[in-house]
């Protein structure tokens, strides 16, 4: 069942999130307890029985903080199952944490569960309505759920709050390829962003736009800029970037380079959201090449077996040696 076009207007913050004091309480629910205990200690003296509640509240806060930080690290490293487990523990400590729902949404996206991601990210938006990153993530989830109109709405909202969000810009590039404003915005972003992953994604988004309007030679020049940037990106991002490069290089007719990118995507993030598609793209590419060269089907033992990646890499190596 699809979402209504007025979904963005209906997504209102929780009443407590309308004011800054409410947002502070949602982020640190243990804060009132810590303050109350500290006041009690000031009035009644510092004794063990008075200090114990403050210590417990502080441990509660520290545990949540460390869990969220470790979850984010695991997510960036492509360890989605472990990240999900820690995020669920953090959620049990504070079910009203926007950060936790944001992370759960990102993890669900990486596990190809866009509807679950949308549910978590909507909660995060209602709990933290002033966070543009959450709206950008929600726009990406709607892209995966094949709801382009809502994806554009949320991407525009994220960019209105923070014009430097590369993820939201990429959504606009994918969903509105005929807009000249997208090209201007992406070129501006490429010149301003500093992190390798942001620049790589922006270049891919612009290359995608240029391919859509038939300017492939320009697109290839931007893809050439992406390739040296990918090793400096987090592992989870690298897997997706290699897959995206494979798609775009295929669209440019660079099939050999595209297959290499698909193989790298599988190798770096074998359990990521792009792994299955990358394997199929690489395998089909080699099968088609074999058919065109030898005019016969590829034997099953030549692509498959216990180590598919190794099989494909061996075929890639043979192809390079022939071309060399």
User: CATH number, domain at 72?
Assistant: 1.25.40.10
CB–CB of 282/264 below 8 Å? no
Q: Report how far residue 303's alpha carbon sits from residue 284's, in angstroms, rounded to the nearest whole number.
A: 10
Residue 141 inside a domain? The answer is: yes
Residue 116 inside a domain? The answer is: yes
- For residue 315, give the nearest of 288, 296, 295 by alpha carbon: 288
Residue 69 inside a domain? The answer is: yes
pLDDT for the residue 220 = 93
Residue 93 inside a domain? The answer is: yes
- For residue 79, give the nearest of 305, 226, 239, 315 by alpha carbon: 239
DSSP 33-75: HHHHHHHHHHHH---HHHHHHHHHHHHHHHHHHHHHHHHHHHH
pTM of the model: 0.62
Residue 320 inside a domain? The answer is: no
From the CB of residue 317, how many other CB atoms can be counted at a distance below 10 Å?
10
Q: Report how far residue 205's alpha carbon sits from residue 276's, in angstroms, rounded to the nearest whole number.
A: 22
From the CB of residue 79, how many other CB atoms can be counted at a distance below 10 Å?
17
- For residue 250, give the nearest of 237, 240, 259, 238 by alpha carbon: 259
Cα atoms found within 13 Å of the Cα of residue 77, Cβ hemisphere only: 11
Give mean pLDDT in consecutive 10-residue pieces for the chain, a chain of 324 residues: 49 60 64 67 64 73 87 87 92 87 92 92 88 91 90 88 76 72 79 84 87 90 92 82 89 87 82 66 56 44 43 48 49
Residue 82 inside a domain? The answer is: yes
pLDDT for the residue 15 = 53
CB–CB of 202/166 below 8 Å? yes
Burial string for 277-303 (b: 16+ CB within 10 Å, else e) reads: bbbebbbebbeebbeeeeeeebeeeeb
Residue 99 inside a domain? The answer is: yes
Q: How far apart are the first and last CA of the chain?
A: 52
Q: Report how far residue 172's alpha carbon sits from residue 140's, in angstroms, rounded to the nearest whole number.
A: 10
Classify the phi-psi angles of 3: left when phi > 0, otherwise alpha if psi is within -120 to 50, otherwise beta: beta
pLDDT for the residue 272 = 66
Take residue 27 and report the two structure tokens written for it.
């982020």
Q: Report how far residue 119's alpha carbon sits from residue 104's, in angstroms, rounded to the nearest whole number.
A: 10
- For residue 255, give the nearest of 323, 163, 168 by alpha carbon: 323
Q: How many domains does the chain have?
A: 1
- For residue 167, give the nearest of 258, 102, 225, 74 by alpha carbon: 102
Residue 138 inside a domain? The answer is: yes
C-alpha distances in Å from residue 43, one per residue of 38, 58, 184, 291, 324 = 9, 20, 62, 85, 82
Structural domain that includes position 133: 1-18+63-158
């Amino acid at each position: 069942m699809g979402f209504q076009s007025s979904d963005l207007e209906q997504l209102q913050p929780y009443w407590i999130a309308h004011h800054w004091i409410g947002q502070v309480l949602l982020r640190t629910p243990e804060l009132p307890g810590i303050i109350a205990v500290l006041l009690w200690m000031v009035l009644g003296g510092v004794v063990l029985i008075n200090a114990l509640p403050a210590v417990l509240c502080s441990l509660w806060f520290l545990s949540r903080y460390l869990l969220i930080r470790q979850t984010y690290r695991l997510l960036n490293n492509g360890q989605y199952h472990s990240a999900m487990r820690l995020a669920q523990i953090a959620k049990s400590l504070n079910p009203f944490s926007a950060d936790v729902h944001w992370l759960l949404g990102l993890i669900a996206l990486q596990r190809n569960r866009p509807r679950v991601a949308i549910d978590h990210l909507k909660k995060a938006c209602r709990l933290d309505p002033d966070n543009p990153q959450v709206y950008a993530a929600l726009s990406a989830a709607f892209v995966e759920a094949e709801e382009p109109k809502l994806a554009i709405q949320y991407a525009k909202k994220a960019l209105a709050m923070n014009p430097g969000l590369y993820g939201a810009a990429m959504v606009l590039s994918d969903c509105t390829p005929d807009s000249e404003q997208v090209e201007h915005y992406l070129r501006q972003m490429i010149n301003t962003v500093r992190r390798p992953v942001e620049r790589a994604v922006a270049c891919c988004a612009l290359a995608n736009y240029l391919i859509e309007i038939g300017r492939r030679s320009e697109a290839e020049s931007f893809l050439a800029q992406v390739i040296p940037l990918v090793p400096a990106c987090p592992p989870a991002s690298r897997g997706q970037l290699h897959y995206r490069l494979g798609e775009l290089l295929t669209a440019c007719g660079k099939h050999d380079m595209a297959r290499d990118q698909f193989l790298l995507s599988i190798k770096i993030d074998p359990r990521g959201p792009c792994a299955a598609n990358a394997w199929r793209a690489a395998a089909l590419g080699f099968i088609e090449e074999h058919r065109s060269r030898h005019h016969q089907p590829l034997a099953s033992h030549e692509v498959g077996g216990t180590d598919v990646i190794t099989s494909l890499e061996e075929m890639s190596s043979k192809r390079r040696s022939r071309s060399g």
